[in-house]
C-alpha cells in the first residue's frame, strides 16, 4: 500500500485543516517544528492510538519527521490500525528549504538531530575500534560491526543505532509532556 504524501507547498496550503504530528524525538522537535505540530515520538505511537483516532474525527492527520522516512513508517503503522494519515514529503528539511517558518519553544533545550547523533556515535565507535585494535587486534571487530550496521541501515532504510539513541534521556519525552499532547488531541 502506498502512503499518501503531501509536498511542503500542499501541506502549507492545508495547514489549518490538518492535525500535524511530529514523530521525531523531543529534542529534534524542540529544534524547530511545523506550526501547531504535536510531538508524539515514533516509539510512543502505539500509546497514542486512541488520541489519534479521535483527532481524525476533526480532520486529516499529517505525520512529519526530519526527512519523511520515520513519518512514512508512522503512516504505515497507523494504517495497520485503520487510521489514515499522510506524510510530509522530505519532512521538516523540505519544509524549511521551501522557506516556511518553523516554531521553536521559548527556552527549550535543543538536542542534535538524530542523524548527527548517529554520525557521532558511529564515528566514535569506529575510531575506538581502530585505536584499540593497535593493542588488541580483535578490537577491530567493533569497527567492522559498525560498518556492517551502516551498510545494513542503508540497504533497509532503517537505523538500529537511531532506535538505541532515541532511548537516551535527552531524546525521551517527559511523561507529563506526552500526556498533555495526547489530551490536547482528544479535546
Shared domain for 10 and 62, answered yes or no, is: yes
Per the CB < 8 A criterion, the answer to whether 4 and 86 are in contact is yes
Per the CB < 8 A criterion, the answer to whether 161 and 118 are in contact is yes
Shared domain for 106 and 148, answered yes or no, is: no
Tell how far CA 133 is from the center of its chain.
35
169 bridge partner residues: none
Shared domain for 78 and 128, answered yes or no, is: no
Shared domain for 98 and 9, answered yes or no, is: yes
174 has a pLDDT exceeding 80: no
Shared domain for 144 and 90, answered yes or no, is: no
Kindly report, residue by residue over 45-90, the tens digit of the pLDDT: 999 999 999 999 888 999 999 999 999 999 999 999 999 999 999 9
Shared domain for 182 and 94, answered yes or no, is: yes
The sign of the CA dihedral 174, 117, 112, 16 is: negative
The values of phi and psi at residue 23, to 5°, are -95, 10
Shared domain for 137 and 95, answered yes or no, is: no
pLDDT band at 109 (very low <50, low <70, confident <90, very high): low
User: Which CATH number characterizes residue 35's domain?
Assistant: 3.40.250.10
Reference 92, options 28, 157, 156, 180; nearest CA is 28
110 has a pLDDT exceeding 70: no
- Degrees (nearest 5) of the Cα angle 84, 55, 167? 80
Number of domains in the chain: 2
Shared domain for 140 and 101, answered yes or no, is: no
pLDDT at 107: 65
Shared domain for 92 and 25, answered yes or no, is: yes
User: What grid cell was written down for 60?
Assistant: 486529516
Average pLDDT of the segment spanning 91-110: 85
Its pTM stands at: 0.74
The values of phi and psi at residue 138, to 5°, are -65, -20
Kindly report, residue by residue over 17-36, the tens digit of the pLDDT: 999 999 998 888 888 899 99
Shared domain for 92 and 118, answered yes or no, is: no
Shared domain for 16 and 101, answered yes or no, is: yes
Average pLDDT of the segment spanning 96-106: 89
Enclosing domain of residue 126: 114-165
- d(Cα 164, Cα 76) in Å, to the nearest integer? 21
Shared domain for 87 and 151, answered yes or no, is: no
> Among 26-30, 133-137, 158-162, which range has the highest average pLDDT?
133-137
Amino acid at each position: 500500500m502506498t502512503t499518501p504524501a503531501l509536498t511542503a507547498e500542499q501541506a502549507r496550503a492545508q495547514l489549518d485543516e490538518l492535525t500535524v504530528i511530529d514523530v521525531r524525538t523531543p529534542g529534534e522537535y524542540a529544534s524547530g517544528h511545523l506550526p501547531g505540530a504535536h510531538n508524539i515520538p515514533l516509539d510512543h505511537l502505539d500509546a497514542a492510538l486512541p488520541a489519534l483516532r479521535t483527532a481524525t474525527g476533526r480532520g486529516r492527520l499529517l505525520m512529519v519527521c526530519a526527512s519523511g522516512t520515520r513519518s512514512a513508517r508512522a503512516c504505515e503503522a497507523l494504517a495497520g490500525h485503520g487510521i489514515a494519515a499522510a506524510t510530509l514529503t522530505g519532512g521538516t528539511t523540505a519544509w524549511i528549504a521551501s522557506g516556511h517558518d518553523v516554531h521553536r519553544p521559548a527556552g527549550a533545550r535543543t538536542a542534535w538531530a538524530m542523524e548527527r547523533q548517529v554520525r557521532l556515535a558511529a564515528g566514535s565507535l569506529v575510531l575506538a575500534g581502530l585505536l584499540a585494535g593497535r593493542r588488541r587486534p580483535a578490537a577491530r571487530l567493533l569497527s567492522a560491526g559498525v560498518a556492517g550496521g551502516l551498510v545494513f541501515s542503508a540497504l533497509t532504510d532503517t537505523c538500529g543505532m537511531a532506535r538505541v539513541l532515541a532511548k537516551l534521556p535527552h531524546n525521551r519525552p517527559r511523561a507529563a509532556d506526552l500526556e498533555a499532547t495526547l489530551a490536547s488531541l482528544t479535546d
